[in-house]
Structure 1
Amino acid sequence: MRPFHRGQRGKAAWQRILRWLGRACDRVVERRSDAAQIDVALVQRRYQESEQRFRSLLESLPRVAVQGYDRQRRVIYWNEASVRLYGYPAEEAMGRLLEDLIIPGPMRQPVIEAHRAWVEQGQEIPAEELELRHRSGEPVPVFSHHVMLGEHTDNPLMFCVDVDLSDQKRAHRDLAFATRFDQLTHLPNRQAFEADLDELLDRCRRQGRPLTVLYLDIDRFVEINDALGYAQGDQILIELTRRLRHRQRAGDLMSRVSSDEFVMAFPGVGEAEACRTVVEHIRSAFDRPFEVDGIARPVTASLGLSAFPDHGRVAWELIRNADVAKNRAKLDGQGALQGFQQHFHDELVRQHRLAERLEHAIANCELSLHYQPQVSAVSGRIENLEALLRWEPADGEAVSPAEFIPLAERSGLIERLGDWVMEEACGQQAAWRAAGVEALRIDINLSGRQVRAPETLERLEACVARHGLEPQDIGIELTENVLIEANEAVLTRLRRLYHRGVRIAIDDFGTGYSSLSYLKLFPVTALKIDRSFVRDGPQQSEDRAIMEAAVFIGHRLGLEVVAEGVETGEQLALVREMRCDLVQGYYFHRPLPVAEVQRLLFGQLEHAP
């Protein structure tokens, strides 16, 4: 068997150099009969010049190892690059056999036979990648090319030209590692884990064994990174990996699939057993706090389970379903566990399709604004309007705002939705202004995500100006929690709107569990008492007390107070008794489409004194 396998990976540049070397050296070993025809001195001079050029060229290639061997494969030439590549000084290498120096044991006899076949039969040794041997015994990857000089003489010389491939091989190994393993924890990545899990599932299928997949997500890890820094967050991940490995059985699989998420597979373990034993074993990894910079920090994780074959028969399906279960667990609070249930996934699919339909609705005019009047608690006169978004698909029943607005938040459609509402409300206000309806403000609702987006409030101002409106013509409503979570940049933008005359109301006041001290910091003009207090106020003394406190505080701070959800005469009497300024609810008006609101406004305009 020959040690050099044929291949097409020789480099053209090297082949040109070697052909030139061959021609130059062949001229040196021409037959004596040819040499006799020219001057002997000229032959000697050309020989010396050729030899000098040859040696200079070989020594000028610092990363290319060149060795020369005689008919018996003894070293006759060993350049400096060969010293660096193989570790033998030139004086130690000279005269030694090729196979004793750099040829690994299993290759020795094939190398001898390949050299003999070239010398005796003219069978060239092809260029190829080889793994030769360093003086220390370590392997040396090279691309090796061979040239035979004086091939048909009694003293043929073989030169080996070896290019060091160590850097390339190292790069290939690093790339192979990067494509399969996580750089931080050295655990398999998601792709490698999925491939390994599919192989494991094949064995479980043949053996009739169960398997459980556990998905682990560190709770509030983003906050850990933000508060402590990424380096400290990495310390926690590395330590958690160490603890989880300590709890891993020989046949189990584990992967870090994203920044703060791990997934594990437990062959031979059913879901019920996993809930009893495996989960508690994994949870014990979090019993002790994680020490970061000398400080002990408690960490928890939410867990989701899926089981083979009940929840999936292939790796990607089991991983996905365990992830779905984990996401549901996170809704239950930190450190929760949830097993997969099919309706979790069905609901996700429904929400995904609903998001696609909502995007279509924005583009195809399936949305509309209804307007619910806010009336004077004393006179019943319409003072302002709240714009409320409605979605009535052409191919189905209306979708509740309570469903599609949170969906828009999660899917990233809320800004497009908000821009549509701004444009529609401002356009309608401009139309009513042109028709002679004065002094009515339209309030629009902004979500937390909209307010945190740097350009939302600027777009609102631009929209108001584009329609020729004044700042007081369009107001905004924000929930209590939006203001509590607002950073200084958001508060600065809100203060600018406030000072320009934009009315800013706190919606659902009393449900955000905020400190009343926030009211003196926020640039607000109105409080809207949440409908839950209005609904139960006539019967519940606690709700009445909260309402009374809200009205008192609001008025003392110079704010307008609106009672939401007034539906009965008893509720109206209560809010009038408490001297609320405005009333909003079904007792007076439901949210109405534009045409019906317009009739109300024009009727009010006709009866104005």
Structure 2
Amino acid sequence: MERVRQQYLESEQRFRVLLESLPKVAVQGYDRERRVIYWNEASTRLYGYTAAEARGRALEDLIIPGEMRESMIEAHRAWVDEGKEIAAEEVELVHHSGERVPVFSHHVMLGEHTDSPTMFCVDVDLSDQKQAHRDLDFAKRFDALTHLPNRTAFEAELEEALETCLVRHAGLAVMYLDVDRFSEINDALGYDQGDRLLAQMAGRLSEEQRLTDLISRVSSDEFVLVFLGVGQRDDVSRLVSKVQHAMRRPFLINGVERRVTAALGVSLYPEHGTSARELIRNADVAKNRAKMDGLGGLRFFQQHHYDELVRQQHLVEKLEQAIEREELSLHYQPQLSVASGRIENLEALLRWKPSDAEAFVSPAEFIPLAERTGLIHRLGDWVMEEACRQQAAWKQAGLTGIRVDINLSGRQMLRANCLARFEACLERHDLAPQDVGIELTENVLIEAASMVLEDLRRLYHRGVRIAIDDFGTGYSSLSYLKHFPVTSLKVDRTFMQDAHLRPEDRSILEAAIFIGHRLGLEVVAEGVECAEQLTLIRQMHCDLAQGYYFHRPMAVADVQRLLETSELP
């Protein structure tokens, strides 16, 4: 019997040593009356009581929350008296400071069938895990920079608000705000400063909220605000004015005042939609229309805006397949010598006639779409290839001495190898640099990177004709002209339109031609549509003319017949 008792004491001692060797596991021992008889160091760290402070105190008076006391006492008695074990579980117990501590609590009963049973509580701190879950939940629901609800959480809040509006027959307004030129702000100030601006903006927009309103940062520089309980346009306009006024005040970034503008789009419930996504989408559509109006634009949603957006998206989808379906073609418009009337050059103009349509889609419509979507690179490559192929075919047919000019857009010029691809295309079709020219707008030249300008200079010295298209409609800074490797100016048709009727337009046209000649450039007048205009530019000694008075853009077969019957240079 003594040997059994000694083994029991040794076993208990080993158990206590084991408990002390677990620095992150809080272990407490309680007697039959739930008074503390054991309290390890980890328990002190977890609950804030020293062993001396805890010893002798009842469990329910020490770390058990008030709402759990009765059930805990009953569970302990049921184990001692009836052998019903307490299940391990996650619970929140009470720290010395009164704060709740999340733990996973497991219980062990020693001496269960004796007069002095001892219950040990083994508690594992779950604070880090709970915090990680809270952080994850925050990240799922809130924007880390502004601490505003993210798009997903915001849509859920808006859906709840819409249910309330439905029951109360109340109105609601959704405002989509997009900071103008934010990428330029980031480039100029750096991303840290851009983030500070957005954080300040979030705070300022939140100040314009009423307690019932909602706000979210839905993307980098875009916010959505919801104004609840507004039904009249006047009420909405007043709230919009408050937001506009808040945005006009300068933001202080590193001690420097910065002024920004934002495009605003507004949709109304139930007029413009009955779901969160529909209202946000329509406010976004209105915002995009507002951006077209210039900095700080404001638009209320109109259904035709969305219809037009859907139509344009449908056009983009069809345009993506236009090359494979052989729906593209080049038409050519002649440029004639003002002095002799002979055809000197041809401008290649892209045309698109979908296979399921009866008419051509206007280039004024599909070219900007191609620019915005990046399809312009594929279209531009096709134009380059087709123009060179056709020029090679004409030369082989003996129609020589006519240059074909192609247009390169600003988006194309952003691609580093654009001009290299042009040179490769010339070589592939065995064409000389003088056979195909390029036209660029002055804005493209001014914004071009130094490497692009170097490529242009190389082409210039090889003999490629380089024209500034739509001259006079862009920056029009004469100081730029002397730095650009160009050979000709194409004066925009807007200056030609009324030059024979209005003296001021005539003066601008004459000045443009004079400047071009003084710089040693060939000058082309676009948009010549009547004999009076031709007489005028002839008096001004303009070099070339292009317009409906002579020829409209023509299909290849028509151009070829014209070239075969015309006197060529």
Bin for the TM-score computed over the shorter chain:
over 0.9
Q: Which string of whole-angstrom CA distances, capped at 9 and with x for unpartnered residues, describes residues 156-188 of structure 1?
A: 332222221111111111111122222222222
Q: Are the equivalent residues in 2 in contact too, given 1:271–1:305 (CA < 8 A)?
A: no
Sort the Cα spacing of 1:94 and 1:470 in 2 relative to 1 into closer, same or farther, 3 A.
farther
Q: What is the aligned partner in structure 1 of residue 459 from structure 2?
A: 497
Sort the Cα spacing of 1:61 and 1:601 in 2 relative to 1 into closer, same or farther, 3 A.
farther
1: CA distance, partners of 2:541 / 2:49: 100
Q: What is the aligned partner in structure 1 of residue 317 from structure 2?
A: 356
Q: Are the equivalent residues in 2 in contact too, given 1:271–1:307 (CA < 8 A)?
A: no
Sort the Cα spacing of 1:489 and 1:88 in 2 relative to 1 into closer, same or farther, 3 A.
farther
1:172 aligns with 2:133: yes
- The alpha carbon displacement at 1:507 in A equals 0.5
2:562 partner letter: L
Q: Are the equivalent residues in 1 in contact too, given 2:172–2:228 (CA < 8 A)?
A: yes
Q: Are the equivalent residues in 2 in contact too, given 1:212–1:274 (CA < 8 A)?
A: no
Among candidates 569, 582, 594, match of residue 544 of structure 2: 582
Among candidates 360, 370, 375, match of residue 408 of structure 1: 370
2: CA distance, partners of 1:107 / 1:470: 92
Q: Are the equivalent residues in 2 in contact too, given 1:212–1:271 (CA < 8 A)?
A: no
2: CA distance, partners of 1:462 / 1:152: 95
Q: What is the aligned partner in structure 1 of residue 23 from structure 2?
A: 62
1:169 aligns to what SS in structure 2?
helix
- The alpha carbon displacement at 1:413 in A equals 1.4
- The alpha carbon displacement at 1:490 in A equals 3.3
Among candidates 380, 384, 390, match of residue 428 of structure 1: 390
TM-score (norm 2): 0.93
2:213 partner letter: D
- The alpha carbon displacement at 1:210 in A equals 1.8
Q: What is the aligned partner in structure 2 of residue 564 from structure 1?
A: 526
1:451 aligns with 2:416: no
Q: What is the aligned partner in structure 1 of residue 274 from structure 2?
A: 313
1:183 aligns to what SS in structure 2?
coil
- Superposed, 1:9-24 pairs within 5 Å as none
1:232 aligns with 2:193: yes
Among candidates 83, 86, 100, match of residue 122 of structure 1: 83
Q: Are the equivalent residues in 1 in contact too, given 2:491–2:526 (CA < 8 A)?
A: yes
> Size of the alignment, in residue pairs?
568
1:140 aligns with 2:101: yes
- The alpha carbon displacement at 1:423 in A equals 1.9
Sort the Cα spacing of 1:420 and 1:82 in 2 relative to 1 into closer, same or farther, 3 A.
same
Q: Are the equivalent residues in 2 in contact too, given 1:219–1:300 (CA < 8 A)?
A: yes
Sort the Cα spacing of 1:83 and 1:470 in 2 relative to 1 into closer, same or farther, 3 A.
farther
Q: What is the aligned partner in structure 2 of residue 4 from structure 1?
A: none
Q: Which string of whole-angstrom CA distances, capped at 9 and with x for unpartnered residues, describes residues 98-144 of structure 1?
A: 22222111111211111221222222222211111112111111112
2: CA distance, partners of 1:222 / 1:271: 35
Q: What is the aligned partner in structure 2 of residue 520 from structure 1?
A: 482
Query: Gaps (5+ residues) in structure 1?
Result: 1-31
Q: Are the equivalent residues in 2 in contact too, given 1:300–1:334 (CA < 8 A)?
A: yes
1:488 aligns with 2:461: no
2: CA distance, partners of 1:431 / 1:156: 105
Q: Are the equivalent residues in 1 in contact too, given 2:343–2:568 (CA < 8 A)?
A: no
Query: Gaps (5+ residues) in structure 2?
Result: none
- Superposed, 1:350-389 pairs within 5 Å as 350-389=311-350
- The alpha carbon displacement at 1:368 in A equals 0.8
Q: What is the aligned partner in structure 2 of residue 249 from structure 1?
A: 210
499-508 or 341-350: bigger deviation: 499-508
404-413 or 527-536: bigger deviation: 527-536
Sort the Cα spacing of 1:80 and 1:427 in 2 relative to 1 into closer, same or farther, 3 A.
farther
The RMSD of aligned alpha carbons is: 2.4
- The alpha carbon displacement at 1:369 in A equals 0.9
1:471 aligns to what SS in structure 2?
coil
1:523 partner letter: P
Q: What is the aligned partner in structure 2 of residue 442 from structure 1?
A: 404
1:506 partner letter: I
Q: Are the equivalent residues in 2 in contact too, given 1:181–1:189 (CA < 8 A)?
A: yes
Identical counterparts, % of pairs:
69
Q: What is the aligned partner in structure 1 of residue 506 from structure 2?
A: 544
2: CA distance, partners of 1:470 / 1:75: 99
Q: What is the aligned partner in structure 1 of residue 230 from structure 2?
A: 269
1: CA distance, partners of 2:257 / 2:100: 46
- The alpha carbon displacement at 1:262 in A equals 2.2
Among candidates 342, 346, 350, match of residue 303 of structure 2: 342
2: CA distance, partners of 1:218 / 1:390: 36
1:295 aligns with 2:256: yes
1:179 aligns to what SS in structure 2?
helix
Among candidates 202, 206, 223, match of residue 184 of structure 2: 223
Q: Are the equivalent residues in 1 in contact too, given 2:342–2:568 (CA < 8 A)?
A: no
Sort the Cα spacing of 1:215 and 1:429 in 2 relative to 1 into closer, same or farther, 3 A.
same
1:151 aligns with 2:83: no
1:553 aligns with 2:515: yes
393-402 or 55-64: bigger deviation: 55-64
1: CA distance, partners of 2:109 / 2:487: 95
Sort the Cα spacing of 1:88 and 1:608 in 2 relative to 1 into closer, same or farther, 3 A.
closer
Q: What is the aligned partner in structure 2 of residue 23 from structure 1?
A: none
1: CA distance, partners of 2:541 / 2:158: 67
Q: Which string of whole-angstrom CA distances, capped at 9 and with x for unpartnered residues, describes residues 33-80 of structure 1?
A: xxx7xxx4x984x66764565344333333222223333323333332
Q: Which string of whole-angstrom CA distances, capped at 9 and with x for unpartnered residues, describes residues 287-329 of structure 1?
A: 5322222222333333222221111112221222222222222
Q: Are the equivalent residues in 2 in contact too, given 1:371–1:387 (CA < 8 A)?
A: yes
Q: Are the equivalent residues in 2 in contact too, given 1:240–1:285 (CA < 8 A)?
A: no
Sort the Cα spacing of 1:535 and 1:282 in 2 relative to 1 into closer, same or farther, 3 A.
closer
308-317 or 493-502: bigger deviation: 493-502
Sort the Cα spacing of 1:460 and 1:66 in 2 relative to 1 into closer, same or farther, 3 A.
farther
Q: What is the aligned partner in structure 2 of residue 330 from structure 1?
A: 291
2: CA distance, partners of 1:282 / 1:64: 54
Q: What is the aligned partner in structure 1 of residue 145 from structure 2?
A: 184
